Amino acid sequence: MTPIETLRLILRPCLDEDRELFHELSADPAVLEFFPFRRSREDADAIFAMIQDMTPEPGFDLLVMVLKHSGETIGFCGLSKLQLAPILPQDVVEIGWRISARHWNNGYATESGLALLHQAFTILEIKEILSIAVHDNRRALSAMAKIGMQPDPGCDFDHPQIPETHPHLKRHVVYRLSAAEWRAEQAGQATR
């Protein structure tokens, strides 16, 4: 996949050198506030190896967010196909990101999200993108709204993969954006 460039970021496929960042984000309690557990180095390495061994469909790579001005890697983002049928349609496309806590509040989620939406709707010709998050994850919900996604309360659900030991993390909200809505917003911005 060709890297995607934004004003401040390069979004490129994951490389072996990104293993440390993956471990950092898999173990940081702030980053994982809305996840039921942190991962050990061994677990994170096993998941990272599995990601590297996969051959994703074009456009569905795990992307590393790199700051243009310094070359520092700050997080991961990408498009993926959710496997939550019958709760959500099989292979519905989700947009998501995970950023190092030291880089929060700089607009990187929004910037990478907008670039991924452009890729999804213009190059990959995806008809609709979803994003899901724990119901009170304000940072994630804010990023979803900033890239133009809208809540769809009728599709909110209790996540089946969250253990009963973490009931406060079970309820997930769904945000959506269709290609038609995105194109209408792009056209509106062009005439402003």
More confident residue, 32 or 6: 6
User: Mean pLDDT, to the nearest integer, of 40-64?
Assistant: 85
Tokens representing residue 95 in the block: 């947009």
DSSP state of 164: T
Residue 55 pLDDT exceeds 80 = no
User: What mean pLDDT is predicted for residues 104-126?
Assistant: 96
| Residue-level pLDDT at 53 | 80
d(CA 42, CA 15): 18
Integer Cα distance of 148 and 95 in angstroms: 12
pTM of the shown model: 0.92
Which residue type sits at 93?
V
CA distance 22 to 70: 19
Separate counts of helices (H) and strands (E) for the chain: 5, 9
Domain containing residue 134: CATH number? 3.40.630.30
Domains held by the chain: number: 1
| Residue 135 structural domain | 4-190
192: pLDDT strictly greater than 90:
no
- What pLDDT is recorded for position 42? 87
Tens of pLDDT, residue by residue over 62-106, are 999 999 999 999 999 999 999 899 999 988 999 999 999 999 999
